[in-house]
Amino acid sequence: MTSRVDNLSSLRFAIIADTKIFLRGLDSGASDEQLRTIAQRIRDKEQQLLHQEGAVLDPNMWRILHSRLINRKVAFADPHS
């Protein structure tokens, strides 16, 4: 039972780590392809979490990531920023 708990903790930690990488990538100018790859990794890990624990990430987390991505594109497109 402990190994299952450790595995879930590792999976949650990996999701958090990838989310931080995504947010840093937004700030550092990562390409859309790089950001899509990171987001897909997060989604894949979320599917593992769903399969193992029956839980998914809070929908607000996805809204935040999408919002940050959209705002980044707007900021780059705005010549007065």
Q: Report whether 12 contacts 46 (CB < 8 A).
A: no
Q: Report whether 15 contacts 57 (CB < 8 A).
A: yes
Q: Report whether 11 contacts 48 (CB < 8 A).
A: yes
CA separation for the pair 80, 78 (Å, rounded): 5
56: three-class secondary structure by DSSP: coil
Residue ranges of the chain with pLDDT lower than 70? 1-8, 73-81
pLDDT in tens, 13-35: 999 999 999 999 999 999 989 99
pTM value is 0.77
